[in-house]
A = this chain, B = another copy of it.
């Protein structure tokens, strides 16, 4: 799959329109939920939230929309180390890249930004001449609350 590199603060809907993507009311709704969600949603959670506004919206449309957004590089896909089943989690790609810390005991997900991480990416691009489009960093371990 081809993923576009993208750095923009425009709302997802504007971003899609500017790329010539047809805006159906289903897509508008899904994109709105993803954008205003604070955490990381999986497909089913997204579907459930969408159905409170539009009970006829089909699960398949959720998957298709997520694939669309992924293809355009507008969402990042995470596994969060599959702490509970094999599903994927999605977050709007509007913030800086960050690291996800998943507590193996309590399940809490923290995010961590760091200039070291930015440097590391730079090092990879320089030393390997690898043009990074998307990075996923997930650490599993024990959070401050869950040690001992």
- Which residues of A approach B to under 8 Å, CB–CB? 1-3, 77, 79, 81-83, 86, 99, 101, 103-105, 110, 112, 114, 116-117, 119-121, 123-124, 127-144, 147
Contact = CB atoms under 8 A, between A and B. Distances in A.
Nearest to A99: B124
Nearest to A125: B141
A130 B124 contact: no
B117 A101 contact: no
A112 B103 CA distance: 25
Nearest to A84: B1
Given A79-B79, A104-B1, A134 B130 contact: no
Contact of A141 (B110, B114, B134, B141): B134
Nearest to A105: B2
A81 B123 contact: no
Contacts of A120: 99, 114, 116-117, 120
Contact of A136 (B103, B123, B138): B138
A132 B141 contact: yes
A23 to B, nearest CB: 26
A132 B121 CA distance: 20
A144 to B, nearest CB: 4
A136 to B, nearest CB: 5
